[in-house]
Amino acid sequence: MSLRLGDIVPNFQADTTAGHLDFYEFLGDSWGILFSHPADYTPVCTTELGFTAKLNDEFAKRNVKVLAVSVDGIDSHHGWKKDIEETQLCNVNFPIIADENRTVATLYDMIHPNASEKATVRSLFIIGPDKKLKLSITYPASTGRNFNEVLRVVDSLQLTAQYQVATPANWNHGEDVIVVPAVSTEDAIAKFPKGVKVVKPYLRYTPQPNVEG
């Protein structure tokens, strides 16, 4: 199936390096990140899993649970996990799914035949507590993913889910945000007491509402 933004993502059960799990139960009321890898013992993915492990505290602060998936088996995963921890100087404390039958890869449309007939492409999905898809992005095998960008997107998604704002290009946590067009300038002034800067009738900035100061 092809998942689109706003779709409820499919549930699944799988064996992982942390034991057997049900995806929905694993997520609970948290946000989730599911990201795939073509195979174990691949160099780019080794660096990606290592960097993700180092961001454990950042994901925890945002109530985000991380889950990786590869088409190799559990024994291979455990061996690869040791390599990741040795070479990337980290503790891989999130589950890695064994997807030998490509069940998860098929559910989440991770097989792109023109790129590879067998291996999963390197897709990443951000899923909300409502189990709806909030973001999907797919990288080629040669380009490592930017997980600082993933954190930035999570910050934006969580902020904009709570307030009637959007985030401009290159926005980072703590910077000014944009008032959405559905809110009139009069209502925006009342809604955002830190102030509203009107550049154009459709382009209005306000300080990030959930930051002190």
Task: Note whether 9 and 109 are within 8 A (CB).
Answer: no
Q: Is 45 a catalytic residue?
A: yes
Which region, left, alpha or beta, applies to residue 73 given φ > 0 means left and ψ of -120 to 50 means alpha? beta
Which is catalytic among the residues 14, 27, 34, 45?
A: 45
- 3-class state of residue 186 by DSSP: helix
Q: Report how far Cα 115 is from the mean position of its chain's Cα atoms.
A: 22
- 3-class state of residue 25 by DSSP: helix
Query: 10 Å Cβ neighbour count for 155?
Result: 18
Which of these, 142, 150, 145, 146, lies nearest to 42 by C-alpha position? 142
Bridge partners of 77, per DSSP, are none
Q: Catalytic positions, please?
A: 45
